[in-house]
Structure 1
């Protein structure tokens, strides 16, 4: 089954470039384009895309405002931010507002495919290029908080290991290959981690991992 994509960016050349990259990725198709956040909700309702590739800096209605409208409308489409911005506050805000992934515009075709595959598989994706930025921002937010005891993690040693890799932006397949596990086993661990912690987004997992001293910038 083809995964339907909607491109939202006010630069036609960027949209053309992303469309060209997508055309070389099996199983995906761009079904629509929008040049402004104001068009987003209407096009999502009409086209019912599986994934929205959303820029943050646009004329009139910006990406964050458009993301807020999309989440308020409880649309089923997942949102992959595709932006040039590496500002930690903006990244964290986008993730906390419901974005399922964050990818930089200078990404490669390979990473774009990895991100799309992750969202299609009901996973989150955080570009490794900004993982440290997100972790650093999380450190700032929890600075001065007393570290929690290890037994508050409620996670096994293997789950803690996988959590560290998730927070660093590794995909399920990368984690499986690195640890010598099957993809299915890693997916099971990921699901158990989220259920035990009751955290279901990347930003929340990063904040938890930093607060509990599971990961640091030097880790």
Structure 2
């Protein structure tokens, strides 16, 4: 019997996962948690074989919870189950020791197979996640943004215009445009929106809720 701990801050999601997994006679859900901190405590109490871990939750995110659980119980296997698949999230999860990274549109059969495979010690990845990881490994190393370029792009991501960025950083609007053109060249993009999106995917900026579309 494979014991599973479900970690998700939405009770209805946990209920659905429990029903899907326990339909397979090899799997039993030993417990549930609704936050990263609770996941660590429940894993310590229940010693599950597999943990299905949501990525973004209150009370400690899934990546930090994964690292903490595996530090205490390395024999457990953690599978991230999330709606997010940007490069930064994937790499952080893998570096924390996750045995798998699945998206929430994964079929029931594939989810059950992934739990069993992780329990056997295998790595399980959604096809799109595997493609992103391979592409990241094959891509040439991206040029690093300078501190000032990072500051400019972070303000672009917050929706500021070139004039507003210039006032905030005490530089001219022309200098802002020069920084943006250098950023575009380093990231291989041609506009502000693509620059922000690419920088987020590569982990050069923290996750944000707003992506502007002003011209440079």
- TM-score bracket, normalised by the shorter chain, equals 0.5 to 0.7
What is aligned with 1:92?
91
User: Which sections of structure 2, spanning at least 5 residues, go unmatched?
Assistant: 144-216
Aligned residues between the structures? 143
Report the Cα distance in structure 2 between the residues aligned to 1:70 and 1:48, rounded to whole angstroms.
10
The 3-state SS of whatever aligns with 1:42 is helix
1:3-38 Cα distance to aligned partner (Å, 9 max, x none)? 100001101111111111102122001010000111
CA-based RMSD of the aligned residues comes to 1.7
**What is the TM-score when the length of structure 1 is the normalising length?**
0.61
What is aligned with 1:80?
79
Q: State whether structure 2 residue 132 is matched by structure 1 residue 133.
A: yes
Report the Cα distance in structure 2 between the residues aligned to 1:122 and 1:58, rounded to whole angstroms.
26
Q: Is the 8 A contact 2:117 2:123 kept in 1?
A: yes
Report the Cα distance in structure 2 between the residues aligned to 1:27 and 1:12, rounded to whole angstroms.
23
User: Which sections of structure 1, spanning at least 5 residues, go unmatched?
Assistant: 145-219
Shift of 1:137: 1.9
Q: What is the 5 A alignment of 1:1-219? A: 2-140=1-139, 142=141
**What is the TM-score when the length of structure 2 is the normalising length?**
0.62
Shift of 1:73: 2.3
Classify 1:74/1:4 alpha carbon distance in 2 versus 1 (closer, same or farther; 3 Å): closer
Pair member with larger Rg: 2
Shift of 1:142: 4.9
Q: Which has the higher contact order (CA 8 A, sep 6+)?
A: 1
Report the Cα distance in structure 2 between the residues aligned to 1:69 and 1:120, rounded to whole angstroms.
19
Runs of 4+ in 1 over 3 A off after TM superposition: 140-144
1:59-99 Cα distance to aligned partner (Å, 9 max, x none)? 12111111121233244211011011010121111012100
Report the Cα distance in structure 1 between the residues aligned to 2:49 and 2:84, rounded to whole angstroms.
24
